[in-house]
Every structure is written in C-alpha cells, then in structure tokens.
Amino acid sequence: MINKDEKRWEIKKMINQYLQYIQEAKRPDVIYHASSILSKTLKPHVSPIGHTKIIKAGFPSKSWERKAVYAGTTKDMCYPFGLERHNIMWPGNYTEEEVESMKSACYLSTKVNKDRLVLCYYNFTPKKPVYLYTVATKDFTKINDKPGAIIKQWSCLKEITPLKIEKIMPNQIKHSWIKIGKKDWEIKKAKYKAKGYYK
C-alpha cells in the first residue's frame, strides 16, 4: 500500500517530467556559456553554485550538479559568469577571518533588477575579457528551474565544441556588473555568516 509521502513524491515526479517535456518542446537552436578562460572546447566541471548547499544538507546530488558544462538561454544570463571572479563569495570558499581581511571581492546578486543577474564588485573593477560561447542545444538537457529563477539553465555531461566564440570587454556589458560600497559589502558578509557559508 502506497503511503501519502510516496504518493506525493510520485505526483511531484510526474509534474517535473511534464515540465521538462514542455521545456524540451520549446528547445532553442542555440544557448550560451560564458567564461574568463579562452578554450577551443568546453569541458564538464563542478559548479560551486548550489553544490555546497546540497552537500551540507546531506541531499544526494544529481549528475549535472556534480560535473557538467552549463549554459543559459540568453547572453545576458551568462555574462556575469564570464566576468573576473575576484575573491568570489561562493559558499564554503573562505573562513570568516579571510573574508574580514579582504580589501576587495565580488558576488552574484539579483537585487539591482529582478529580471537580471549581476556581479557586484567591492573595491574592484573588472578589466579582463569575457569569452562568450555559442553552443548547439542538441547535446544539452534543460535543468528544471525553480519558480521565478533568473537563469534558465541547461547542462551537458560531455565535452562540447562551440559553434562560435566572442571576446567581450567588461565596458561593453556594464549592465551585467556594478561597483558596490561598504554598506552593501557589510550586508553581504552578514548574510554569508547567517547562512553558515564560512568554511
């Protein structure tokens, strides 16, 4: 006999499968990946976004969470990931002492505009280029986005050869990064501490 929890899990699974079917049916021809590194091919890697939280919570991770090539549906979704990661505030990267000693750093945020992801820099200005890779969707699988997610993500578990590579300077994509002041930096540190992100 199936209990209520098992039934809920089965219903949730069916809904997720249906949502993925709808997303796959609207598959675009190309999607985008951005990096600060120039490469002829894109190799699967471990993404720090969300992965540390999953491990800390003790939940089993999926294959795309462990190692994959990630892409976004639009260019604007991807630019912040290709910008310079100067002391990037990923969960589990730093001790509290290390963060307190930082003279400059950066972190991803959606606070400036709810429809846009940006990279926030404290005492730092990006100067190095962003490499934007255009890739075909045929080898990618749509990641089921949480409701209201800013980034519509895709993943691929194998090495990919891009269709096109563009070199873009930070001053060409100013809408994707901002410089913040001391007040915003202190708020970020407080949130980082409250969520238990220190190493």
Residue at token pair 């892409």: 71
Q: List, for residues 117-132, the tens digit of each pLDDT value.
A: 899 999 999 999 999 9
pLDDT for the residue 199: 87
Phi, psi at 160, each rounded to 5°: -125, 140
Regions of the chain with pLDDT less than 50: 50, 52, 54-55
Q: What's the pLDDT at 52?
A: 47
At 27 the pLDDT is 80
pTM here? 0.79
**Cβ atoms of 28 and 73 closer than 8 Å:** yes
% residues pLDDT > 90 (the chain)? 57
Strands 30-35 and 130-136: antiparallel
Residue 20 three-state SS:
helix
Sheet strand arrangement including 130-136 = 141-142, 153-156, 69-72, 30-35, 130-136, 164-168
For 92, residues 6+ apart whose C-beta sits below 8 A from its C-beta are 48, 52, 56, 197, 198, 199
CB proximity list for 148: less than 8 A, separation 6 or greater:
none
Residues 165-180: tens digit of each pLDDT: 999 999 999 999 999 9
**What is the per-residue pLDDT for 127?**
96
State the amino acid at position 88 in one-letter form: I
